Amino acid sequence: MVWLIQSNLKPYPPGVGFFCSRIVMAEKILSRDRLANICEDARSHDKKIVFTNGCFDILHVGHVRYLKQASSLGDILIVGLNSDSSVNLIKGANRPIIDENARAEIISSLYFVDYVTVFSEPDPLALIRLLRPDILVKGSDWAEDKIIGADFVKSYGGRVVRVKLTPRVSTTGIIEMIIRRYGRTES
């Protein structure tokens, strides 16, 4: 793994490299088991782990603002990305538009996202249980009692944060606008 380090180096857990305000490295898409090890090391160095998840199909400004705000809540931001099969179950047969490998690469390219992992289950509970984040983040469109993993995270002293969403911006809205503008061909 090649590490590209920002300024103001600070020691980071053994085997992981160095920690700055954000880690920048050539490979940020990791297996859940590798992330569990990283989380364990980070916790032993009093780093706050933030976790969020979603489909992130057709990345837009709402996604970027949401993820940036999530990253500001701790030291390490991990994004659980729904696999293609998981998105298909949640969003329907025509989704995702962008395949999981491309979505993972796009999300991992954001400087404020530290790690991405793809999960195939319909919800992220197993991943949340494995990673044990300090902070679980979801959009304000989710009631706290409906956020999957919220009770688990709170059971060990973690917290749940609901981030305000960007109004009038959604992947579905973008798809609908594209169809309205370009979807009908004239004979």
Can you give the pLDDT at residue 136?
Answer: 97
Cβ-in-10-Å burial (0-12, 13-18, 19+) of 10 comes to exposed
Can you give the pLDDT at residue 122?
Answer: 87
Identify the band that residue 7 occupies on the pLDDT scale cut at 50, 70 and 90. very low
Mean of the pLDDT values across residues 120-136?
A: 96
Identify the band that residue 2 occupies on the pLDDT scale cut at 50, 70 and 90. very low
Identify the band that residue 3 occupies on the pLDDT scale cut at 50, 70 and 90. very low
Please give the backbone phi and psi of residue 154, each rounded to the nearest 5 degrees, phi first. Answer: -70, -25
Q: What is the pLDDT of residues 21-78, one digit of tens each?
A: 444 444 899 999 999 999 999 999 999 999 999 999 999 999 999 999 999 999 999 9
User: What gap in Å lies between CA 140 and CA 162, rounded to an integer?
Assistant: 5
| CATH 3.40.50.620 is right for the domain spanning 27-182 | yes
Can you give the pLDDT at residue 94?
Answer: 87
Domain boundaries, the chain: 27-182
Average pLDDT across the chain, whole number? 86
The β-bridge partners of 119 are 82
Can you give the pLDDT at residue 186?
Answer: 56
How does DSSP classify residue 12? -
